[in-house]
Copies of this chain bind each other. A is one copy, B any other.
Amino acid sequence: MKACIVVTPGGPEAFSLADVEIEPPGGLDAVMRITAAGVNRADVLQRQGRYPAPPGAPSWPGLEAAGTLLEAPASSPWRAGDRVCALLPGGGYAERAVVDASLLLPVPDGLSDVEAASLVEAACTVVSNLDEARALPGETLLVHGGSGGVGTAAIQIAKARGMRVIATAGGAERAARCAALGADVALDHRADDWVAAVRDLGGADVILDVVGAAYLDANLRALRTGGRLVVIGMQKGARGELDLGLLLARRARVIGTTLRARPLAERAAIVARVREEVWPLVPDAVRPVVHATLPLERAGDAHRLLESGEVFGKVVLTV
Contacts and interface: CB of A to CB of B under 8 A. Distances in A.
Interface of A: 212-213, 216, 231-232, 234, 237-258, 261-262
A254 B253 contact: yes
A248 B242 contact: no
Copy total for this chain: 2
A184 B240 CA distance: 34
B257 A231 contact: no
B244 A251 contact: no
A251 to B, nearest CB: 5
19 contacts: A212-B244, A216-B242, A216-B244, A232-B248, A234-B245, A237-B244, A238-B245, A239-B242, A239-B243, A240-B241, A244-B256, A246-B256, A247-B256, A248-B258, A251-B257, A251-B258, A251-B262, A253-B255, A253-B256
Give the secondary structure class of A's interface: mixed
Contacts of A247: 231, 254, 256
Contacts of A238: 243-245
Contacts of A244: 212-213, 216, 231, 234, 237-240, 256
Nearest to A234: B244
Given A216-B244, A241-B242, A243-B238, A249 B261 contact: yes
Given A237-B244, A251-B258, 4 more contacts: A239-B243, A251-B257, A251-B262, A252-B256
A209 to B, nearest CB: 10
A232 B248 CA distance: 7
Contacts of A248: 231-232, 234, 256-258
A237 to B, nearest CB: 8
Contacts of A254: 242, 247, 253-254
A234 B243 CA distance: 11
A134 B280 CA distance: 31
A263 to B, nearest CB: 9
A216 B254 CA distance: 13
A227 to B, nearest CB: 10
Contacts of A262: 251
